[in-house]
Homo-oligomer: A and B are copies of this chain.
Amino acid sequence: MCLFLIFAPMTVFYLNDLTPDQVVLNPDQSKHAARVLRLKQGAVLVLSDGRGAWHQGELKSVGKHCEVAIVQRHFQPPDAYEIHLAVAPTKNMNRYEWLVEKATEIGMHQLLPFFSNHSERQQLKQDRVERVVEAAAKQSLRAYLPKVAVARSFESLMNLDFEGKKFIAHCQDSPRKLLKDSYLIGSNALVLIGPEGDFSPKEVAMALDSGFEPITLGNGRYRTETAALMACHTLHLLNQ
Q: Interface of A with B (CB < 8 Å)?
A: 1, 4-5, 8, 98, 102, 105-107, 139-142, 171, 173, 178, 180, 218-223, 226, 229-230, 233-234, 236-237, 240
- Contact in complex: A102, B240 (CB < 8 Å): no
Of the candidates B8, B220, B222, the one whose C-beta lies within 8 Å of that of A221 is B8
- Contact in complex: A180, B237 (CB < 8 Å): yes
Q: Which residues of B lie under 8 Å from residue A173 when comparing CB positions?
A: 5
Knowing that A102-B226, A105-B223, A140-B220 touch, tell me 5 more A-B residue pairs with CB under 8 angstroms.
A8-B171, A140-B223, A180-B237, A180-B240, A229-B229
* A105, A140, A142: residue with the most chain B Cβ atoms closer than 10 Å: A105
Q: Which residues of B lie under 8 Å from residue A219 when comparing CB positions?
A: 1, 4
CA distance A220 to B141 in the complex (A): 7
- Contact in complex: B142, A220 (CB < 8 Å): yes
